[in-house]
Amino acid sequence: MKRLFYNQPIEQVFDDVHTKTSGLTNEEVEAKRSEFGANELEQKKQTSLLEKFFNQFKDLMIIVLIVAALIAAVSGELVDAIIIMLVVILNAMFGVFQEAKAENAINALKEMSAPDAHVRRGDQVVTVKSDELVPGDIVLLEAGDIVPADMRLIEGAALKIEEAALTGESVATEKQFNVLEDETLGIGDRSNMAYMNTNVTYGRATGVVVATGMQTEMGRIAGMLNKTAETQTPLQANLQQLGKVLTFLILIIAVIVFVIGLIRGEETVLDMLLTAISLAVAAIPEGLPAIVTITLALGTQRMVKRHALIRKLPAVETLGSTDIIASDKTGTLTQNKMTVERLYTNGELTDSSEQQDESTGLLTKIMVLANDTKQTSDGLQGDPTETALVQYALDHNVNVEQLMADNQRVAEIPFDSERKLMTTIHQNADGIFAASKGAPDALLTRITKIEIDGNVQPMDEQARTKILQQNHDLATQALRVLAFAYKPLQTVPSDPTSEDVENDLIFVGLIGMIDPERPEAAESVAKAHQAGIKTIMITGDHRDTAQAIANRLGIVDDGEDDAVITGAQLDEQDDATFAKNVKKYRVYARVAPEHKVRIVKAWQKHGKVVAMTGDGVNDAPALKTADIGVGMGITGTEVSKGASEMVLADDNFATIVVAVEEGRKVFANIQKSIQYLLSANLGEVITLFMMTILGWQILAPVQILWINLVTDTFPAIALGVEPTEKNIMKRPPRGRSSNFLSGGVMSSVIYQGILEGLLTLGVYAYALLVPLHTGDAQIHADALTMAFATLGLIQLFHAFNSKSIHQSLFTIGFWKNKYFNLAILVAFLLLAITIWLPGFNQLFHVTHLELSQWAVVVIAGILMIVIVELVKLVQRKFWYNKK
């Protein structure tokens, strides 16, 4: 069991890590380094580019295509085999290219580590590389340092550490040095500990290293990342399922045709083998992987223009199936920047956006002076709370530099976590005065007067009660409240102390501040809700703060206390109990990294597709566990970005909603392409199957491959860039259980494939019954050519039906997609030249058709459009619009 250290006296900590106040000797350091190793994070084994490339061929659909290429090569169709293999190889190269751009999350964790540390060894302070630290080292910290290892704090002054990357809490933590008795405290509440890779923002301290490398809290997260398996996306699952179904059907159909042909005894074994190969080629949608990849790639390019960067192609489609967005609060839904929101002065509460008057001017003056913020060329530097006070002044056109120049600081009493106050002493043209700020309960005990309307008067109980009530009201709104006061002095104290200066103070006012929500976040949450997507807030902040922000964003309503749960309450539930209760909770406060993973997994057990957003190191394990991890590009750590499938370049929660819309569009377009391809291939299979059963001459493999290449691929790719259908964001998420063949697609594939086959067979039969030429050979050649032309042309006509699965073609529009129109034209010309151009006739085993024969072919194509549109009309009237 891991030792806690925060609930032990420092003497016991020293005993446990075998050290002393003077630090370790060189011999002790070497011995411990042999025992504990370097203070660095382990790396997960990297996948080489070659391994990435071969991993692309593990997909069943790709294997089917490779088999198809081998079959084509064996049957003598080397050109077709080469084309299929080129498609497979290009698809693999594109997948490798996308994955190669990903940064490794553990590498990024490693790069965050502090380069140097100031250590006391043998009673001498020396500077060493942080990876040389061992448990028992005594480390000195000051403002600006990165904490190099997990440490128990020994002593110090006014120490504040910003731990947002680890805990998710937006406010820097005030540290103290006493023993904490509670054994159930979360990381964010262990105020006498400092953790690896967090930032010292204020004060100084000395601490003893209690954990290094993979034993640190940061190392624990790295270990969770290493153990987290890659999640299969819905797209990958759908394609895998589709590949299995197609493989099974192809084998069954090919075997049936082969056996029937042999039983009839009219064909040789070789002829029937070639027939079975033709059927297999007809059934395999060899263009599907390329179409899916191209559609995803085009979606990726569109999303880049809208500030969403995709690291892995399937992530585009996964967004479209999202049921749950589990969002980190700090920096994602909020601005990760403390902001003054309310002011109480002169007995009145005002909004921070209102203009200043004389009383708020005095309050602003004290806010700026009792402050250690530095103005630099890079902006305001200092504690986030103090920079927020100066930023308020700047926003209200206060000349901060002039104000500080006119009121020179001559002495100070630094902030102390025990008295919770800070006081600075200033001298100006009117004299000397002290400016104080601190926690309202601490400051009010030292206040005896109050300034109202420019007049200083004694503080009576009525005024004191009113101030305390106002403090309570602001605190219940999850605002962090500070009180401000001042005091005229006769002289500058030579050695100012709290007892001498911080008494008999004059109350000026209160301010309430918060890390506010992003302006566009509430609207985005509402849009997600309209799309049937539930937004869950997960944060390391306190419960009241989390609930207040969630209420302002519309994630929870007033009084919905049961929808909010803390990490400690979550620990009281086992996984089975939590999985049952997870639907009740929409806000999680004070959580640890493992809690976030539990939340994601609990929703996944309900079959939900979960998108997890985050920007901190603490978010990385959950980002990797989720179906799609969404990192923040600006404020996000490299760790969170490395663990994500998508990165928001603008850190804008609204971009997620845009990405969801794009993901839904991508899925819809891939689904259209699949419906088109499978119905077309089914039409080919039925045509060949019935020709074999009826004893007719069948289409040759080269004819089927040419139809698949020109009339399948080009229109199917063009369907991938169809415009977004109306109301796509008003539909509920399709969820994990749906697939490319759900929502009526499977039934449409079946009846449309049968229709294509029957129309083609009908044209073949018509050519036999009403021949234009004489001679059996010529009649059968004409019939086969008309069947070839019909099967190709009917698919081009059917591509127009496929522009929407259920909506009318006349609503969608014939000509809105210029790429589609061009694809149809090119496919038609490539099909026609096999019949029109001399020389191609012999290559494709076809004859020249007369105008009247072409008319029959075109009529069959028009019938395809008319019949399918009539069926869609009936579906809309009696089924799909009523769902």
> Residues with catalytic annotation?
328
For residues 249 and 247, what is the distance between their CA atoms, to the nearest angstrom? Answer: 6
Q: Please report, as a single letter, which amino acid is at residue 338.
A: M
SS (H, E, C) 635-653: CCCHHHHHCCCEEECCCCH
- Closest by CA to 75, choosing from 67, 85, 87, is 67
Residues 137, 121: contact at Cβ < 8 Å? yes
Element (H, E) at 309: strand 308-310
Choose among 740, 728, 656: nearest CA to 295. Answer: 740
Bridge partner list, 646: 310, 630
| Beta-sheet pairing, 564-566 with 193-194 | unpaired
DSSP string, 451-466: EETTEEEE--HHHHHH
Tell me the angle at which helices 653-694 and 745-769 cross, rounded to the nearest 10 degrees.
30
Give yes or no for a contact between 46 and 104, defined as CB atoms under 8 angstroms apart: yes
List, in order, residues 6 or more apart from 438 with CB less than 8 Å away: 415, 419, 420, 421, 422, 482, 483
Q: Which of 577, 623, 582 is nearest to 599 (CA)?
A: 582
Q: Are 563 and 585 in contact (CB under 8 A)?
A: yes
What the block records as the tokens of 516 is 């506010």
Question: Is-contact 404 352, C-beta < 8 A?
Answer: no
Two tokens, residue 879? 């089924």
Strand residues in 404-503 grouped as ranges (E):
408-416, 421-428, 431-438, 447-452, 455-458, 480-489
Q: Taking the C-alpha atoms of 598, 600, 606 and 610 in order, what is their torsion angle to the nearest 10 degrees?
A: 180
Q: Residue 701 phi/psi, 5° resolution?
A: -55, -40
What DSSP string runs through 760-824? HHHHHHHHHHS-SS-SHHHHHHHHHHHHHHHHHHHHHHHHHHTT-SSS-HHHH-SSS-HHHHHHH
Tell me which DSSP letter residue 146 carries.
Answer: B
**Which parts of 1-123 are beta strand (E)?**
116-121
Beta bridge partners of 156: 205
DSSP string, 85-102: HHHHHHHHHHHHHHHHTP
486 within 8 A of 503, measured Cβ to Cβ = no
Contact 368, 393 (CB under 8 A): yes
Among candidate residues 56, 23, 218, the one with its CA nearest the CA of residue 133:
23
φ/ψ region of 455 (left if φ > 0, alpha if ψ in -120 to 50, else beta) reads beta
d(CA 785, CA 834): 10
Q: Please tell me the distance from the alpha carbon of residue 52 to that of residue 50, in angstroms, as a whole number.
A: 5
Query: Across-strand partners of 506?
Result: 449, 486
Contacts (Cβ under 8 Å, ≥6 apart) of 83? 709
238/246 Cα distance (integer angstroms) = 12
Residue for token pair 């976030």: 596
